Amino acid sequence: MQASQRRQVQPEPAPDRDWWRGAVIYQIYPRSYQDSNGDGVGDLKGIIARLPYIASLGVDAIWISPFFKSPMKDFGYDVSDYCDVDPMFGTLADFDALVAEAHRLGLRVMIDEVISHTADIHPWFQESRSSRNNPKADWYVWADARPDGTPPNNWLSIFGGSAWQWDTRRQQYYLHNFLAEQPDLNFHNSEVQDALLDVTRFWLERGVDGFRLDTINFYFHSEGLEDNPPLPPEERNDQTAPAVNPYNYQDHIYDKSRPENLGFLERFRTLLDEYPVAAAVGEVGDSQRGLEVVAAYTAGDHRVQMCYAFDFLAPEKISAGKVRSVLEAFGRVASDGWSCWAFSNHDVMRHASRWAASEPDRLAYLKVVSALLMSLRGSVCLYQGEELGLPEAELAFEDLQDPYGIRFWPEFKGRDGCRTPMAWDDARPNAGFSTAKPWLPVAREHLPLAVSRQQGDPNSLLEHYRRFLAFRAGHPALVKGDIEFLAVEGDAIAFARSEGNERIVCAFNLGAKPATLALGDGKKGQETGGHGLHGTLEDGKITFHGYGAWFGRLD
């Protein structure tokens, strides 16, 4: 055989280290996604069974909320063993099988890493609290009482009351930014950082593609333990805590978002860079400085790849003006940073209730705002059931599981309403989630919106998400391109996304009434189809029906 006739062996393509930039990430709350063993709680095998559905949406990755060993005081966000699976969710072998199947289907796997605090039954804390001179004595944040026995400063817990809990063994207070059963780790101790990086490596070696870093701006506190100053009443708009929580009364300059965190994030990124595609997205809970923190944490290529703040997760309804102001504000403070945008997640009321309940055409509104989200510059997080338009579930007090909701009921009903089981099949018991009584009730109002009802219906929200995600994936400018806002007024918003030789104008009418958007006399262009939304360009004007959108090229 002549050399020219030999089959040329093509080298494997290099892994795309930049896959996260513009990725669409689907968040799974494992307790509520799919129960495979009939105990009323979702699990890893249940997720595996539903991975083909997730892949059919056209997303790039999944983010799985915590499944580690835990006493479940905060439903997995209180970890007692970072390197094992809680038996209610399965085993490490189940997790390995999940990663393998996700990769086979072309999905990246990101997992929640909850490292600002542990459970109080974690062996590290048990040793730390045993004495003031044991090897882990300063692995957590300990402080003496004031002379009158009160806590060392005025710091408050997001879950209510003081952020300090008295420990009778050490005769000291320990810090907990969340539940008293969630003591905060002391990141000023390099041994703590080393141990947490070892945990990160453990999961990278098991094949995960990245991490969602819970409460990333809570890692460090001020070693001086200074009192936080008060906030004026007009500035008490913390998006991470309900308005009834006095946590909003303080400017949290000493208990979170500390500059010392940057050094740890650089260590963290150095570890990620040892692996071909590892990436991280951080959760930034800071209403006063959220976008600035996101910019700092994602600057350059030596910290985390992306973060999200709560700008679009707050109760305030989205508007054309707000979208533009948030995106432009981020552009001003982050010349090279990258954000991840979301409208819903496991901690906030679903946006189908926050925003769409007052709209005359709920379905059309949810279609246009989802298209807007998936057209913004940045990566995107979609929360399970968002693609179905699930509203916040109405629960009775006796059904609540969330300690946050129980603490502030009835003015704040907690997070259970967005965590109820996924609605798969309205004709099956418990909507196909479980054969047993679920840990939270299946919402009756979710049954007409089940996957079985929407699958295959081209007018449904589910098929809209599939259609629009395919449209987005076919246009590099919508994935990784720059953004330039165009001058418009009212409920309409327009911007151009550009990448290489591609430039797409994206225009949206967020209102129920028809609208006209003037782009300039004589402007002509070509509509880009395939997204299923409607608008027309004629004589330099885009004309929309209510909740319309137009995508295309301008001449």
- Which residues does the annotation mark as catalytic? 214, 274
CA distances from 169 to 27, 125, 179, 497 (A): 40, 12, 19, 59
d(CA 216, CA 292): 14
Q: Token digits for 538? A: 């004629």
d(CA 449, CA 440): 18
> In 10 A of CB 9, how many CB atoms?
5
In the three-class reduction of DSSP (H, G, I as helix; E, B as strand; rest coil), residue 512 is classed as coil
Partners of 308 in beta bridges:
283
Left if phi > 0, otherwise alpha if psi is -120 to 50, otherwise beta: which for 417? alpha
Q: Token digits for 367? A: 């279609």
d(CA 218, CA 257): 6
CA distances from 321 to 101, 283, 326, 422, 490 (A): 42, 24, 9, 33, 8
With tokens 């710091």, the residue in question is 155
Kind plus residue range of the DSSP H or E element containing 485: strand 482-485
CA distances from 309 to 284, 286, 366, 380 (A): 5, 7, 21, 12
Q: Token digits for 171? A: 């005769």
Q: Token digits for 540? A: 């330099």
Left if phi > 0, otherwise alpha if psi is -120 to 50, otherwise beta: which for 491? alpha
Q: Token digits for 545? A: 């029906």
Residue 353: half-sphere exposure toward Cβ, Cα within 13 Å: 15
In the three-class reduction of DSSP (H, G, I as helix; E, B as strand; rest coil), residue 453 is classed as helix
Bond into 514 cis (ω within 30): no
d(CA 321, CA 312): 12
> In 10 A of CB 260, how many CB atoms?
13
Q: Token digits for 407? A: 């603490």
Q: Where are the alpha helices (DSSP H) in 223-361?
A: 261-272, 290-298, 320-333, 351-354
CA distances from 162 to 175, 253, 402, 433, 473 (A): 9, 16, 19, 39, 47
